[in-house]
Amino acid sequence: MNFKLILNIALHLLRARLKQTIVAAIGVTFSIAMFIALVSFMNGLNDLLDGLMLNRTPHVLLYNEIKPSENQPVLLSEEFKKNTNFVRSIKPKDRGKSIYNSKTILAVLKQDPRVIDVAPKVTSPVFFNSGTIEISGIINGIDVLAEDKLFKISDYIIEGKVADLLQNNSIIIGKGLSDKMLLAKGDIIKITTSKGNLASLKIVGISEIGIAEIDNVMSYTSLATAQKILGEPTNYITDIQLNLYDMTAAPAVAKEFQDTFNLDTIDYQTANSQFETGSAVRSIISYSVGVVLLIVAGFGIYNILNMMIYEKMDSIAILKATGFSGNDVKWIFISLSVIIGLAGGLFGLLFGYIFSSIIDVIPFETASLPTVKTYPINYNPLFYGIGITFALFTTTIAGLFPALKASKVDPVEIIRGK
Partner 1 sequence: MENNTVLETIGLSKYFYDPVKFQVLKEINMRVNHGEFVSIVGKSGCGKSTLLYLLSTMDTDYDGQVIIHNELVTGKTDKELALIRNEKIGFVFQFHYLLAEYNVLKNVMLPGMKLAKYSDKELEHRAMEHLKTLDMQDQALKMPNQLSGGQKQRVAIARALINDPLIIMGDEPTGNLDKKNSDLVFDIFNKLTQEKNQTLLVVTHDTDFAQKTNRIITMEDGKIIS
Residue 322 makes contact with partner 1 by CB under 8 A: yes
Alpha carbons 188 and 39: distance in angstroms, whole number:
47
Q: By CB under 8 A, is residue 308 in contact with partner 1?
A: no
Contact between 418 and partner 1 per CB under 8 A: yes
- Of the residues 75, 321, 358, 382, which one makes contact with partner 1 according to CB under 8 A: 321
Task: For the segment 73-112, give every residue that binds partner 1 (CB under 8 A).
Answer: none
Any contact of residue 5 with partner 1 (CB under 8 A)?
Answer: yes
Decide if residue 281 touches partner 1 (CB under 8 A). no
Q: Which of 42, 293, 317, 398 binds partner 1 (CB under 8 A)?
A: 317
What distance in Å separates the CA atoms of residue 154 and residue 220, rounded to the nearest whole number? 12
Q: Are 222 and 210 in contact (CB under 8 A)?
A: no
Pairing of strands 170-174, 198-207: parallel
Among 151, 324, 333, 353, binds partner 1 (CB under 8 A): 324
Cβ proximity of 25 and 347 under 8 Å: yes
Return the residue of 3, 12, 107, 168 that touches partner 1, per CB under 8 A.
Answer: 12
Measured from the CB atom, the residue of 225 and 315 that comes closer to partner 1 is: 315
Smallest gap from Cβ 329 to partner 1, in A, equals: 10
Please tell me the distance from the alpha carbon of residue 310 to that of residue 402, in angstroms, as a whole number. Answer: 10
Closest residue by Cα to residue 25 from 402, 394, 404, 405: 394
Radius of gyration (Cα) for the chain, nearest Å?
33
Which CB atom, from 89 or from 322, has the smaller least distance to partner 1? 322
Taking the complex as a whole, the smallest distance from the CB of residue 417 to partner 1 amounts, in Å, to 10
253 neighbors 113 (Cβ within 8 angstroms): no
d(CA 324, CA 34): 40
Total of chain residues touching partner 1, rule CB under 8 A: 26
| Residue whose CB is less far from partner 1, 285 or 318 | 318
- From candidates 326, 346, 397, 400, binder to partner 1 by CB under 8 A: 326
Site stretch for partner 1 (CB under 8 A), options 48-56, 255-263, 314-322, 362-370: 314-322
Binding to partner 1, residues 16-55 (CB under 8 A): 16
Q: Which of 29, 17, 10, 73 is nearest to 391 (CA)?
A: 29
**Exposed/middle/buried for 417, CB within 10 Å: 0-12, 13-18, 19+?**
exposed
What is the per-residue binding string for partner 1 in 328-367, x denoting contact by CB under 8 A? x---------------------------------------
Summarize the chain as % helix, strand, coil (round to 5): 55, 20, 25
Looking at the Cβ atoms of 276 and 311, the one nearer to partner 1 is 311
Q: How many other CB atoms are found less than 10 A from the CB of residue 196?
A: 7
The answer to whether 226 and 140 have CB atoms below 8 angstroms apart is yes
Residue 412 binding partner 1, by CB under 8 A: yes
The b/e string for 200-210 (b: 16+ C-beta within 10 A; e otherwise) is: ebebbbbbbbb
Member of 59, 175, 228, 320 binding partner 1 (CB under 8 A): 320
**Binding region for partner 1 (CB under 8 A):** 2, 5, 12-13, 15-16, 314-315, 317-328, 410-412, 415-416, 418
